[in-house]
Amino acid sequence: MIIVKTLTLTCLLMIFFQDVKSRSVYWILFPALAGSLLGLHYFQNNSAIWSWQAVIFNIGFFLGQLALVTIYFSIKNKKLTNITANLLGLGDLLFILSIAFYLSIFNFLFFYIASLVVVLVFWLIWQRISSNKNNNIPLAGLQALLFIVFLLCDWWFKAISLNDDTWILNLITK
């Protein structure tokens, strides 16, 4: 189990450092991340039973959002717009798809929305105080860093579980 956790954290740290440094990430890190997250899920639940409903929902939600963003920018630009050309990097897409295999539905929605808000706020503050202005946000890298925090909370504080929505449903209903 420690080997799988170490591999997962290594993949996430490599994604973070590569994206922040060069705004590009080696594609092989994303299947490695997805594989290590599948391994984590297997070892944490002590079974090969997998909630494919959560995976299908997570990926479907993300692809639906991408479709809506594509439609929005296509209408705005009055031509079909490929959002991965200038607006969103392929690594950003692959990162979200990788974690979709690990998180339960509400955990996925919570992480996805919260990470977008945190990254945006951080980036706006960083652009304000930094002398090095850059329009390209290292989204996958910053989300990877936040996902490390998310995973460490899961591993250290047994009150939450990223594979189970119980903790977040209890939080919502209080």
The whole-angstrom separation of Cα 155 and Cα 44 is: 10
pLDDT the model gives residue 50: 61
With beta carbons less than 8 A apart as the criterion, state whether 109 and 61 touch.
Answer: yes
Sorted by where each begins, the domain ranges of the chain are 2-173
Residue 57 CB-density burial (10 A; 0-12 exposed, 13-18 middle, 19+ buried): middle
Short-list 57, 56, 39, CA closest to 48: 39
How far apart, in whole angstroms, are the C-alpha atoms of residue 53 and residue 105?
9
**Element spanning 69, H or E:** helix 52-77
Tens digits of per-residue pLDDT, 68-120?
999 999 999 899 988 887 788 889 999 999 999 899 999 999 999 999 999 99
Q: Which of 31-35, 151-155, 164-168 is least confident?
A: 164-168
Cα 6 to Cα 8: distance, rounded to the nearest angstrom = 5
Could you tell me which of 28, 167, 91, 161 has the C-alpha nearest to residue 36? Answer: 28
- pLDDT for residue 125 is more than 60: yes
Residue 96 to residues 15, 33, 74, 145, Cα–Cα distance (Å): 12, 11, 23, 13
User: What is the reported pLDDT for 85?
Assistant: 78
Cα-Cα-Cα-Cα dihedral of 127, 129, 133, 135, to 10°? 0
Q: What confidence score (pLDDT) does residue 48 get?
A: 55
